């Protein structure tokens, strides 16, 4: 078995070590004896989505997002077809915003891929915080770090999780991220995946299932001692700042 991960525009979209997410996916596949290949695409490279199993779109500044947006126009249709066909995508912060219709900034509108029915508007003040969420996809909380000026509105889409500590999509709704088909969009940097092994394995098993079927997608469990400790560290650090913490959090590992 082999899984191919496409890293889109790492020279432009790679804030706070988003590249670490790629290393994490590769390592967790290899630990299970599954081959992993990474294809990094520059802004002018041709992208053949049919050979990709997972696509990572990382975070970026408004300036970098503006540059990327012009290229996205050209790959919009094939990217959309990949998503509709169950292709796995993990999009973070600036990359998450670009999944939507647009990101309205004080310096103009950045057109998005329009793959997910969401949109983002810049508001005064940045939402900068450590953050953790409870998602109904996982037992473990999802932990990370957010830093964004844009407020994302997800319409009727499913959020990735409920914010337990931090700001999330727009600082008001109490929700963070979006889940659409096999696409996850989130504001969480970190890098996200090393501290959230259940989320990483979710992406991997979705990708394996799509290419090799349901039976193959049952992943061998890994010990995850350090990963779980890293996750718990963030939760413990902020839990006493959360009112009714115990009722809000379902289960901590
Ligand atoms: N430029 C975007 C914003 O400020 C995204 C930032 C990021 O990727 N961290 O909202």
Q: Is 78 in the pocket of ligand 1 (CB under 6 A)?
A: no
Q: What is the mean pLDDT of residues 74-94?
A: 97
pLDDT-derived band at 251 (thresholds 50, 70, 90) equals: low
Pairing verdict, β 54-57 and 142-153: unpaired
Residue 153 is a catalytic residue: no
pLDDT tens, residue by residue, 66-83: 999 999 999 999 999 999
User: Would you say residue 181 has pLDDT above 60?
Assistant: yes
Summarised one tens digit per residue, pLDDT across range 195-250 is 999 999 999 999 999 999 999 999 999 999 999 999 999 999 998 888 888 877 76
Q: If you take atom 5 of ligand 1, which residue's CA is the nearest one? A: 94
Q: Is 37 in the pocket of ligand 1 (CB under 6 A)?
A: no
Pocket of ligand 1 contains residue 20 by CB under 6 Å: no
- Does the annotation count 148 as an active-site position? no
Q: Which of 7, 24, 93, 200 is catalytic?
A: 93
Nearest partner of 113 among 98, 129, 91, 125, judged by Cα: 98
State the pLDDT confidence band at 253, using cuts at 50, 70 and 90. Answer: very low
For residue 194, CA distances in Å to 31, 91, 168 come to 14, 15, 20
pTM of the model: 0.96
| 184 Cα to the center of ligand 1, angstroms | 17
In order of start, what are the domains of the chain with their CATH numbers?
2-222 (3.40.50.880)
């Amino acid at each position: 078995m082999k899984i191919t991960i496409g890293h889109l525009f790492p020279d432009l979209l790679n804030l706070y070590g988003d590249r670490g997410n790629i290393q994490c996916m590769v390592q967790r596949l290899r630990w299970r004896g599954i081959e992993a290949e990474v294809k990094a695409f520059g802004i002018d490279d041709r992208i053949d989505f049919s050979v990709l199993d997972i696509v990572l779109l990382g975070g970026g500044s408004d300036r970098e997002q503006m540059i990327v947006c012009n290229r996205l126009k050209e790959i919009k249709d094939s990217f959309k077809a990949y998503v509709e066909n169950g292709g796995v995508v993990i999009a973070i912060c600036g990359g998450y915003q670009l999944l939507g219709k647009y990101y309205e900034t004080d310096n103009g509108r950045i057109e998005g891929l329009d793959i997910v029915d969401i949109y983002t508007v810049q508001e005064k003040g940045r939402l900068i915080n450590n953050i953790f969420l409870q998602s109904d996809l996982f037992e473990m909380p999802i932990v990370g770090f957010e830093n964004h000026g844009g407020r994302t509105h997800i319409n009727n889409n499913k959020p990735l999780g409920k914010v337990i500590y931090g700001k999330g999509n727009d600082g008001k709704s109490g929700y963070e991220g979006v889940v659409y088909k096999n696409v996850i969009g989130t504001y969480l940097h970190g890098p996200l995946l090393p501290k959230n092994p259940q989320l990483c394995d979710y992406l991997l098993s979705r990708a394996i299932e799509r290419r090799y079927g349901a039976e193959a997608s049952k992943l061998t469990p890994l010990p995850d001692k350090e990963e779980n400790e890293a996750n718990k560290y963030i939760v413990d650090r902020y839990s006493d700042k959360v009112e009714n913490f115990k009722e809000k959090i379902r289960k901590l590992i």
